């Protein structure tokens, strides 16, 4: 009887299911957050520059006032070398009234960045799992290493 799935396909399938489950879990949590969040304007009060990375990255720190009049100061979720924020900029903020410390700048990277990256990883895993030439080359690579 001919094998339908080789070991590499099974590996990529399990990896795909695992990564898909993780991305799905966090995506659902993000959607729930966005559904209950309140949108306000905040102000960039600091931009932290990290010179230890190459390229140099920047992480904005913003403050906003919640609907109860309490002021919060929070670092953005991501640091990036593409940050275009400067001190004094006004930015839209999404925050959960029950947990304002979980606020996020309402931009594509802070709101959906992790999910976009996760979807890209899923696409790569999916393509790798379906392409028999890649899995065949992986098997040849294993055989070469075992013969050495």
For 91-132, how does the pLDDT look when each residue is reduced to its tens digit (9 = 90+)? Answer: 999 999 999 998 988 876 666 767 777 788 888 877 776 766
What are the structure tokens assigned to 101, written together? 């410390």
CA distance linking residue 77 with residue 141, whole number of Å: 39
CA distance linking residue 95 with residue 101, whole number of Å: 8
Three-class SS state of 9: helix
Q: What is the pLDDT of residue 120?
A: 84
CB 41 within 8 A of CB 64: yes
Q: What is the pLDDT of residue 23?
A: 82
The Cα angle at residue 78 between residues 14 and 15, in degrees rounded to 5: 5
Strand partners for 72: 64
The pTM assigned to this predicted structure is 0.64
- Segment 15-35, tens digit of pLDDT: 888 888 888 888 888 889 889
């Amino acid at each position: 009887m001919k094998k339908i799935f080789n070991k590499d396909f099974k590996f990529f399938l399990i990896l795909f299911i695992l990564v898909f489950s993780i991305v799905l879990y966090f995506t659902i949590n993000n959607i729930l957050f966005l559904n209950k969040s309140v949108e306000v304007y905040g102000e960039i009060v600091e931009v932290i520059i990290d010179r230890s990375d190459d390229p140099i990255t920047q992480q904005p720190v913003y403050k906003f006032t919640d609907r109860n009049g309490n002021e919060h100061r929070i670092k953005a979720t991501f640091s990036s070398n593409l940050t275009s924020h400067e001190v004094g900029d006004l930015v839209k903020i999404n925050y959960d009234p029950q947990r304002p410390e979980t606020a996020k700048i309402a931009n594509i990277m802070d709101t959906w960045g992790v999910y976009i990256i996760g979807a890209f990883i899923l696409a790569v895993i999916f393509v790798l799992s379906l392409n028999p030439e890649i899995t065949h080359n992986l098997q040849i690579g294993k055989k070469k290493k075992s013969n050495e």
